[in-house]
Structure 1
């Protein structure tokens, strides 16, 4: 998997891509078990709660903490965050963060592992991580967290967290909770997360010159607890809040901010004043250009009408 031979045994390394491919499609197919359970709104809420719990694990833990170190926390809560993220069935925290750091380094170039503008929608959405090429990662990409043995253990045995979660759901609510809280929730959780790879570089608005195709998208931000402010993020990726302004909804940041009030997390990195002022200036310029364009169109229409009447 990396420079340390102790991280993955050769047999596991050879079999992991095929086993993960089979497991991936089996997990996707489990959403069909929803037809084995009578519908109820209480079960829908179980699915929603499970979705947002694990989305927080991806957005706040895997992405903002392990990938970008945008805040600090204790070693214990660090492991809790890693565990919640692993429950989402998107492999381990070190694997996820290492590949994400490479994504930022090579964003929208040929070396970008999931650029939709280079490799298409479905590849960037989910097929990229089913390739053998990306089953491994380099430890040197994530030295700040690779040093912790408990994180290396969880990264290697990342299936333990989702399996434990599935068992817990079954023990609490039986088959119905397992279906809605795990199968249904995991299906939508996965695809919602992957829209940031496949859609947020295609649809939305551009505020900053991030030298790639990243865009801000309110709907994706609502779906992913704040990740949709992707242009903001690619311009200043170390910020704990990806919605830079009060009107940009960022639920993951709100939760982290609340946790900071209790001393559970701290040193939350924010975008500097210069970046915020630049963003407001660009918004104002874009608004003025849009108004100017509308006025030009109206004048053109009026001129055409006058021309028609004069004839």
Structure 2
């Protein structure tokens, strides 16, 4: 007798696999060609200040949407936020092209539940410890797992989001938000240069190149930081810190800290560890837009300290 779909933790069927393949090709493979096209287009239209500013601004907005919105707010509920902030973070995170917020949250909660064990969607540590096994693991966890995988049941993993009808309504037009994230830099650059070449250049650099850069930064957390780095805190999986990448990852690279204290809005934990995502949460708190910001107690941190 088949298990009722409402009680399954994961769902697999040909329709979902087709959706996964389509998303993988559009938003994970296509940006590779976008980078190549951007480099080739330099012969037609040299990159200028406008493209670089748009690349940076769109990377910053969408990266904070993923780190602060998708991850710290919606997945782990490490703080509370006003409806306007929730909407802004949902739209910014959607423009990153890494999946709709409900699916993203379900996948990430599944990752924490099964981290580095059978059932983890993107562990690099399930292919053995040989050189070939490590290469296969890194390739799988960094990129290839998105081609086709068991889909975490959103009714099981994200019921809190599904009950928030207003948030679901904001998140539903996911592909339109991704399109907006591509259209904004294209239009802005077109206005700056007053040419079709400017539109194409803005689309490439502020759109596809930006998606490529952000994706591989975030994916490196799943892959390399579950295999290499430091482990200052005890955690049941193989999460690691990579502090050298803290700024460009919005603080996400304090990955061992995060797995040890998933309820913490601060991933750096200490004031001197760079954590731009946490800085934004604290800035919004000054204006009363975020509150109940979670942090582990000193006693709990000391209890989890490793000998190293």
Shorter-chain TM range is: 0.7 to 0.9
1:141 to 2:157 alignment: yes
Question: For 1:173 and 1:80, how far apart are their aligned partners in 2?
Answer: 23
Counterpart of 2:296? 271
Give the alignment of 1:114-153 within 5 angstroms: 114-119=122-127, 120-134=137-151, 137-153=153-169
**What do the CA deviations read for 1:38-66 (whole angstroms, capped 9, x no partner)?**
02344223212211211101100010011
- Residue 82 and residue 12 in structure 1: after superposition, are their counterparts in 2 closer, same or farther (change >3 A)? farther
Aligned residue among 165, 190, 212 for 2:215: 190
- Residue 13 and residue 156 in structure 1: after superposition, are their counterparts in 2 closer, same or farther (change >3 A)? farther
- Residue 11 and residue 212 in structure 1: after superposition, are their counterparts in 2 closer, same or farther (change >3 A)? closer
1:33 to 2:37 alignment: yes
Deviates more, 1:228-237 or 1:76-85: 76-85
Secondary structure of 1:200's aligned partner: helix
Tell me, yes or no, if the aligned pair for 1:200 and 1:220 is still in contact at 8 Å.
Answer: no
Tell me, yes or no, if the aligned pair for 1:205 and 1:215 is still in contact at 8 Å.
Answer: yes
Residue ranges of structure 2 left out of the alignment (5+ in a row): 8-12, 128-136, 191-198
Counterpart of 1:229? 254
Question: For 1:13 and 1:104, how far apart are their aligned partners in 2?
Answer: 22
- Residue 14 and residue 249 in structure 1: after superposition, are their counterparts in 2 closer, same or farther (change >3 A)? closer
Secondary structure of 1:84's aligned partner: helix
Tell me, yes or no, if the aligned pair for 2:80 and 2:292 is still in contact at 8 Å.
Answer: yes
Question: For 2:241 and 2:58, how far apart are their aligned partners in 1?
Answer: 26
| Structure 1 residue 184 displacement after superposition | 1.1
TM-score using structure 1 length: 0.82
Relative CO higher for 1 or 2, CA cutoff 8 Å, sep ≥ 6? Answer: 2
Counterpart of 1:170? 186
**What do the CA deviations read for 1:2-49 (whole angstroms, capped 9, x no partner)?**
749xxxxx9974642332233132233112221313023442232122
Question: For 2:203 and 2:116, how far apart are their aligned partners in 1?
Answer: 38
Aligned residue among 194, 199, 205 for 2:224: 199
| Structure 1 residue 133 displacement after superposition | 2.4
Question: For 1:250 and 1:225, how far apart are their aligned partners in 2?
Answer: 6
- Residue 245 and residue 198 in structure 1: after superposition, are their counterparts in 2 closer, same or farther (change >3 A)? same
Question: For 1:237 and 1:263, how far apart are their aligned partners in 2?
Answer: 23
Greater C-alpha radius of gyration:
1
Counterpart of 1:180? 205
| Structure 1 residue 209 displacement after superposition | 1.3
Give the alignment of 1:233-248 within 5 angstroms: 233-248=258-273
Question: For 1:14 and 1:115, how far apart are their aligned partners in 2?
Answer: 20
Question: For 2:91 and 2:176, how far apart are their aligned partners in 1?
Answer: 9
RMSD: 2.2
Question: For 2:302 and 2:19, how far apart are their aligned partners in 1?
Answer: 47
Tell me, yes or no, if the aligned pair for 1:91 and 1:159 is still in contact at 8 Å.
Answer: no
| Structure 1 residue 245 displacement after superposition | 0.7
Residue ranges of structure 1 left out of the alignment (5+ in a row): 5-9, 287-311
**What do the CA deviations read for 1:175-219 (whole angstroms, capped 9, x no partner)?**
222221111111111110101100111121111110111111112
TM-score using structure 2 length: 0.83
- Residue 11 and residue 108 in structure 1: after superposition, are their counterparts in 2 closer, same or farther (change >3 A)? closer
Question: For 1:204 and 1:132, how far apart are their aligned partners in 2?
Answer: 27
1:21 to 2:21 alignment: no
